[in-house]
């Protein structure tokens, strides 16, 4: 599946470099990170169909974060506000991880000093609401006009436009990504998924 193949090669290169660094001074940490990296790719490759449980998506995100924290260390802080009641619901594959990757790469990494990425998952009025928020450098008005262009900012991974278009295709024009941002204050990306439509789409995909 082409979607599953779109794992950012820069992420792989940077992670392997971090593991090499740890292997010299903290070999046990390097070993654990290699296991995590193998798990990350195994999770990506084993996915069948177009939907996963929220729990599986969160586990995939958590594995990704562990690998990124190995590189960024104290620069990257993570906050989570997750409602476990959502864990058994279904969401399109690779919905959340690309948003977290984008927050780290374009929000936290360019920021001077440490930055925080917050992951929020709630059930609101029959819809799943996911918010990926960072306190990074923000998005300029020029970049904001381009973020949904195909391939923009993806770094050969799954870009925001990919997630945006898939959500609209599955659930309707009202269900693409919504982004708010302030320069030097941060960015929030909102994902709404209607529970009933998600269940119906899962059944259609299984047929």
Task: Kindly report, residue by residue over 59-89, the tens digit of the pLDDT.
Answer: 999 999 999 999 999 999 999 999 999 999 9
- Residue 41's contacts (CB-CB under 8 Å, 6 or more residues apart) are 7
Looking at residue 2, its pLDDT comes to: 44
Tokens 């993570």 -> residue:
78
Looking at residue 33, its pLDDT comes to: 92
Looking at residue 156, its pLDDT comes to: 45
User: In whole angstroms, what is the distance from residue 90 CA to residue 46 CA?
Assistant: 17
Give the architecture-level CATH label for domain 2-206: 2-Layer Sandwich (3.30)
Looking at residue 11, its pLDDT comes to: 82
Looking at residue 131, its pLDDT comes to: 98
Do residues 120 and 134 make contact, with C-beta atoms less than 8 angstroms apart?
no
Question: Which residues of the chain are modeled with pLDDT < 50?
Answer: 1-5, 156-157
Looking at residue 94, its pLDDT comes to: 87
């Amino acid at each position: 599946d082409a979607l599953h193949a779109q794992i950012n090669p820069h992420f792989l290169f940077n992670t392997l470099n971090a593991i090499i660094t740890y292997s010299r001074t903290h070999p046990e940490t390097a070993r654990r990170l290699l296991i995590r990296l193998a798990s990350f790719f195994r999770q990506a490759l084993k996915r069948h169909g177009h939907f996963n449980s929220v729990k599986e998506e969160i586990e995939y995100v958590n594995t990704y974060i562990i690998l990124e924290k190995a590189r960024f260390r104290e620069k990257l802080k993570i906050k989570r506000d997750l409602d476990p009641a959502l864990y058994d619901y279904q969401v399109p594959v690779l919905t959340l991880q690309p948003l977290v990757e984008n927050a780290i790469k374009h929000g936290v990494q360019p920021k001077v000093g440490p930055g925080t990425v917050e992951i929020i998952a709630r059930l609101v009025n029959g819809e799943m609401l996911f918010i990926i928020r960072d306190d990074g450098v923000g998005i300029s008005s020029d970049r904001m006009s381009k973020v949904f262009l195909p391939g923009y900012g993806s770094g050969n991974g799954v870009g925001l436009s990919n997630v945006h278009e898939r959500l609209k295709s599955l659930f309707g024009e009202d269900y693409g990504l919504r982004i708010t941002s302030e320069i030097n204050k941060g960015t929030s990306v909102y994902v709404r998924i209607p529970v009933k439509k998600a269940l119906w789409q899962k059944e259609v995909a299984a047929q």
